[in-house]
Amino acid sequence: MADKPQFTTEVLNLAKVAKALSHPVRIYILQKLSKMNSCCYSGNLVDELPVGRSTLSQHLKELKFAGLIQGEINPPYIKYCINRKNWEKAKKLLDDFLNDNQSADFSCYETKTV
Amino acid sequence: MADKPQFTTEVLNLAKVAKALSHPVRIYILQKLSKMNSCCYSGNLVDELPVGRSTLSQHLKELKFAGLIQGEINPPYIKYCINRKNWEKAKKLLDDFLNDNQSADFSCYETKTV
DNA sequence: AAATCATTTCGTAATTTTGCGAAATATAAA
DNA sequence: TTTATATTTCGCAAAATTACGAAATGATTT
């Protein structure tokens, strides 16, 4: 009964970023905010998305919690912008994961299988 | 009461790929399989991951369902390999999403806000 | 034919996610 | 001060995710 290993923080962080991206609403928001230099009001987004206001609010909250966006209060609106710094970090993390095909110097079933 | 728009298939596919990556076990498996040229047996993976066999099996199933891996039966083992074709597709999709900062030719609150 | 082995499927439980409408909040306008 | 506006939080329900152990599957070996 071998000890169960832990996940590396890299793997955990990758999964966390992927999770933040794992819903169409959140993809849409990030795509939009990262493409534009300006920001977005929740009230505008809601007309472009097939969900209600409160649901959108939750998705925004999740993205905020994941650090990928930030909201500036601009009463009575809240202006959402991409969090450039964290977005770049997340991108780098994913990018490395996707393109780190530095060939097989370790294998799997060579090591312990019949 | 404006009509609610649909998601584009691009957005839906991105979310689907991200969802497939949204768990540490699945990140680990994909990282491993994409890095190596060879393949992996479920029995080997289970020793490297903090989950039981049946749980691992479910994650493998999800990745298979998402088209990112494939299993070759090699009795009594099942050899899992990356599905190169779909993995490349998924990578391209994500990569474009991440690096498609082709500047803001559309905006948001210029269009309909006070 | 019985035993063994790797893996999956089943049944179940706990937790998380997603979604909505109603109510709350906070500010600005009348 | 009342009214209107943008947004969030609350309460709830339905569905999906994650996890486990036990049982089932399918092939091989004894």
- The per-residue pLDDT for range B10-19, each reduced to its tens digit, is 999 999 999 9
Q: Comparing A13-22, A45-54, A102-111, B93-102, which segment has the lowest mean pLDDT? A: A102-111
Q: How confident is the model at residue B108 (pLDDT cuts 50, 70, 90)?
A: very low
Structure tokens at A18: 């992927």
CA distances from B44 to A75, B3, B41, B84, B99 (A): 56, 51, 5, 21, 35
Closest C-alpha among A9, A12, A45 to residue A27: A45
Q: What is the pTM of this model?
A: 0.87
Closest C-alpha among A66, A56, A74, A54 to residue A14: A66
Residue pair B16/A87 in contact (Cβ under 8 Å)? The answer is no
> Which residues lie near nucleic chain D, judged by CB under 7 A?
A 41-44, 46, 53-54, 56-58, 60-61, 71, 76-78; B 19, 22-23, 25, 50-55, 58-59, 62, 75-76, 114
Which chain B residue has the Cα nearest residue A102? B35
Q: How far, in Å, CA of B1 to CA of B112, rounded?
A: 15
Within 10 Å of residue A29's Cβ, how many Cβ atoms?
25
Q: How confident is the model at residue A51 (pLDDT cuts 50, 70, 90)?
A: very high
Q: How confident is the model at residue A110 (pLDDT cuts 50, 70, 90)?
A: very low
Q: What 3-state class would DSSP assign to B107?
A: coil
> Of residues A1 and A13, which shows the higher confidence score?
A13
Cα distance from A108 to chain B (closest Cα, Å)?
A: 6
Over residues B22-31, mean pLDDT: 97
Q: How confident is the model at residue B57 (pLDDT cuts 50, 70, 90)?
A: very high
Question: Which run of H or of E encompasses A14?
Answer: helix A9-20
Protein CA at A38 to nucleotide C1' at C29, angstroms? 27
What's the pLDDT score for residue B2?
60
**For A27, how many CA atoms within 13 A lie in the half-sphere containing its CB?**
24
Q: How far, in Å, CA of A99 to CA of B99, rounded?
A: 13
Residues of B in contact with A18 (CB under 8 A): 18-19, 21-22, 27
> Of residues B77 and B82, which shows the higher confidence score?
B82
What's the pLDDT score for residue A70?
93
